[in-house]
Amino acid sequence: MKLFPEGRSRALSACSLAAAAGSCVMFLKALRDLFTLLDVFSTPAFYLALSHASVPVEMPPLALFMAGHMRLAFVFSVFFWLSGLTLSVGVWGRKEWARRGAVTMLYLLSATALLFLLFPWLAIPRPLVYDGVSLAPEFNAAVRAAALVARITAALAGGLCLWWALALDRGELRREFGGGVERAPGI
């Protein structure tokens, strides 16, 4: 079997193989992190340390959710990267189920990027301001810079995910997948 079969988009094959490699590495890292977390959670000292812990004031909602549901966040990470690996290998093999799954995943990633573009404070702390006075100018400058970087990253990543989703869903690449229904011209 060739890595870049004749008559198929080389760009799609290369991107799907790169996504598979990246997803495989991240899946293995997420699996290692999950096992490490479960090992730490199994010790009584961990629960003693957490029993007196408090959540910082003005903690971002996403970080607050992840702090409250650590195991769920780590399990989600494992399944996210495993599904990315599975879908990218399936797209490389031009399977229709993988195309539909990849399109759905790419649309969801685009929507998530739009959410972070509009509301970066979901994952980044808000600046500390009281009655218009900056309480921690250095912290506020760092937070504003992080929000700008998050917005730029969300715009670029979201645009790229949306472009690939539209290319796989409505573009010429859709014809490379076997199970797609061909539409009659003019419909």
**Domains of the chain by residue range:** 10-176
Which residues, at least 6 apart from 136, have a Cβ–Cβ distance to it below 8 Å? 128
Helix (H/G/I), strand (E/B), else coil: 129: strand
Verdict on whether the full-model pTM lies above 0.85: no
Give the tens place of pLDDT for each residue, 12-29.
Answer: 999 999 999 999 999 999
Distance of alpha carbon 23 from the chain centroid: 11
Give the tens place of pLDDT for each residue, 40-89.
Answer: 887 777 777 776 777 667 789 998 888 888 889 999 999 999 999 999 99
Highest mean pLDDT among 68-72, 83-87, 92-96, 170-174: 83-87
